[in-house]
Structure 1
Amino acid sequence: MISKEEEMIACELLPFLRVRKDGTVDRLYNPVLSPPSSVENNTGVRTKDVIISPEVSARLYLPNLSLSDTIILNKLPILVYFHGGGFCIESAFSTFCHHYINNIASQSNAVVVSVDYRLAPEHPLPAAYNDSWTALQWVASHSTNQHNEKDEPWLSQHGDFERLYIGGDSAGANIAHHIALRASTEKLHGGVNILGAFLSHPYFWGSQPLGQEAVTDRETNLLYKTWMLVYPDCHDGIDNPCINAFVKDAPSLASLGCKRLIICVASEDELRDRGVYYYERVKESGWEGELSIFEVQGEGHSFHIFNPETQNAKDMFERLAAFLRGC
């Protein structure tokens, strides 16, 4: 017999959240948050939070400016980063994300803008896509010589807009993919171009299995249920081009609006084969940029964020940092 409580539930994404029929959302998982810091003890990175628009905020990371190469070059590469969490959980201010991006900023010697976009189901897609584009445009607006008191000095004084990167993990990698496509058809402020993008353990899915993906029970899979929760109004479900980059009506991967691209996968990740296939399809598409893939053996989805002290995680940090340094 169904209980009265169960009758009030529209859908669940356990153990993370529950949506009731009256539209209220019970968030069963709330990430531990870390405050910004004037100086991180282990890296010398400075952090602060900014409000970009009424809907979008971000955490900024500025590496140690006393480093000799920073003094010589003056300007630093910029990374606009999109966190993971299935579009419905996590935050740019979470402890996991904060420690991860702190490491990346330190090792790459880059200014990082970690975007806190609106989450589904309260704000279903395409809200996260639009918020992320708003954040990127805000960053690009600092590229002109006409600055005012509202400009962010860490960007206007230290950012090299010839070396603008985007990147993300899981759902954030999905966002980075869409931002790169959008940048090929819409101009950024100041005529800024995206130099490179990294897609780490990208969240793509579809009705037809690829590689070693399970053939059965695809509609009971957490990946399927998450997508249907965060974008309930999209046509074609998990074969919508936003989640399945390989369907017939998806934008051509040859149009990705960047010059460098790296795809990161993990051998034990359920999304691994789709990430590899994405790499292969970009390679076959005629896209003219610099393309690479980096695979870590024996690890699962987003292992580097949740277990950052392992050697595999440190190796991945170094690979991403090297990519941002132009290596």
Structure 2
Amino acid sequence: MAEGRFGGNPEDRRRNALGAEGWTAYGRPRYCDAHSSHAAGGTGPEPWLAEHGDFSRVFLAGASAGGTIAHVVAARAGGQGAGGLGMRVRGLLIVHPYFSGAADIGDEGAAGKKRKARADAFWRFLYPGSPGLDDPLSNPFSEAAGGSAARVAAERVLVCVAEKDDLRDRGVWYYENLKASGYPGEVELLEARIQGEGASSGGGGA
């Protein structure tokens, strides 16, 4: 389960960037590859995983910025060669994801203009090394992403949004664009008729 850190501490920003760029939420590619090949005679560096882990039944999940990280990891896991693991993931759960992009969607250019400006400023603060809002880590469907969304390793994806969450439209945008990207798996959207990111079905905060 990936979850972004939102503190002002520079260490939190560093960990968020590493989570997206360095695979720390999922482990180094060679580390995972060593364990995933165990059934074929490979041996991984972690004895418990080597003995009990089943890398044919991997699920990825993330909430908010963690949902963004989970997508990036799934896309890279589906790549081949040094940039990916060449392995399948059984499922990907994206909960209230924190995506953005230079082009406005929904009400971002009107009623939601100030809200998007705050969210975009927050992105730049958390990841000051980013080239912009169409960075593939923020916009997985940008030209710079090079069609990586279609390589999401998961066999199926569930995208969860909340009716009155400020980022609801971006979650729906992700769902619609993933379906249109050429991604071959199943994609479903679940919208909760409740208010706010992280709200539970019982109405409480999670």
Q: TM-score range with shorter-chain normalisation? A: 0.7 to 0.9
Q: For 2:56, which of 162, 177, 185 is the aligned residue?
A: 162
Change in 2 beyond 3 A, CA 1:147/1:225: same
The residue that corresponds to 2:202 in the other structure is 311
Task: Give the Cα–Cα distance (whole angstroms) in 1 for the partners of residues 125 and 57 of structure 2.
Answer: 36
Which stretch of the first structure deviates more once superposed, 209-218 or 290-299? Answer: 209-218
Answer yes or no: is 1:182 the counterpart of 2:73.
Answer: no
CA offset digits 1:96-128 (Å, max 9, x no partner):
xxxxxxxxxxxxxxxxxxxxxx621xx276322
Q: For 2:35, which of 142, 153, 156 is the aligned residue?
A: 142
Task: Give the Cα–Cα distance (whole angstroms) in 2 for the partners of residues 274 and 126 of structure 1.
Answer: 21
Could you tell me how far 1:158 is from its partner in structure 2? 3.1
Change in 2 beyond 3 A, CA 1:278/1:162: same
Task: Trace 1:16-165 onto structure 2 (pairs within 5 A).
Answer: 81-86=1-6, 88=7, 119-120=12-13, 123=14, 126-129=17-20, 130-132=22-24, 135=27, 137=29, 138-143=31-36, 144=38, 145-147=41-43, 151-153=46-48, 155-165=49-59
Task: Give the Cα–Cα distance (whole angstroms) in 2 for the partners of residues 163 and 89 of structure 1.
Answer: 36
Which stretch of the first structure deviates more once superposed, 155-164 or 260-269? Answer: 155-164
Task: Give the Cα–Cα distance (whole angstroms) in 1 for the partners of residues 115 and 197 of structure 2.
Answer: 18
The residue that corresponds to 2:182 in the other structure is 286
**Given residue 132 of structure 1, which amino acid in structure 2 is its aligned partner?**
T
In the superposition, the TM-score normalised over structure 2's length comes to: 0.79
Answer yes or no: is 1:201 the counterpart of 2:96.
Answer: yes
**Given residue 4 of structure 2, which amino acid in structure 1 is its aligned partner?**
G
Could you tell me how far 1:241 is from its partner in structure 2? 2.5
Q: For 1:225, which of 115, 118, 121 is the aligned residue?
A: 121
Identity of aligned residues (%): 32
In the superposition, the TM-score normalised over structure 1's length comes to: 0.52
Change in 2 beyond 3 A, CA 1:163/1:269: same
Could you tell me how far 1:212 is from its partner in structure 2? 3.3
Instruction: Please list every run of 5 or more consecutive structure 2 residues that lacks an aligned counterpart in the other structure.
Output: none
Contact 1:124 1:231 (8 Å CA) reproduced: no
Contact 2:155 2:186 (8 Å CA) reproduced: yes
Query: Normalized per residue, which structure has more helix?
Result: 2
- Matched length: 194
Contact 1:84 1:172 (8 Å CA) reproduced: yes
Query: Normalized per residue, which structure has more strand?
Result: 1
3-state SS, counterpart of residue 257 of structure 1: coil
The residue that corresponds to 1:268 in the other structure is 164
3-state SS, counterpart of residue 239 of structure 1: coil
CA offset digits 1:287-320 (Å, max 9, x no partner):
110111111112310123xxxxx5367xxx9xxx
The residue that corresponds to 1:75 in the other structure is none
Q: CA RMSD in A?
A: 3.0
Task: Give the Cα–Cα distance (whole angstroms) in 1 for the partners of residues 46 and 113 of structure 2.
Answer: 52
Answer yes or no: is 1:173 the counterpart of 2:67.
Answer: yes
The residue that corresponds to 1:50 in the other structure is none
Task: Compare relative contact order (CA 8 Å, sep 6+) and give the higher one, 1 or 2.
Answer: 2
Task: Give the Cα–Cα distance (whole angstroms) in 2 for the partners of residues 89 and 195 of structure 1.
Answer: 35
The residue that corresponds to 2:191 in the other structure is 295
3-state SS, counterpart of residue 24 of structure 2: helix
Contact 2:136 2:142 (8 Å CA) reproduced: yes
The residue that corresponds to 2:152 in the other structure is 256
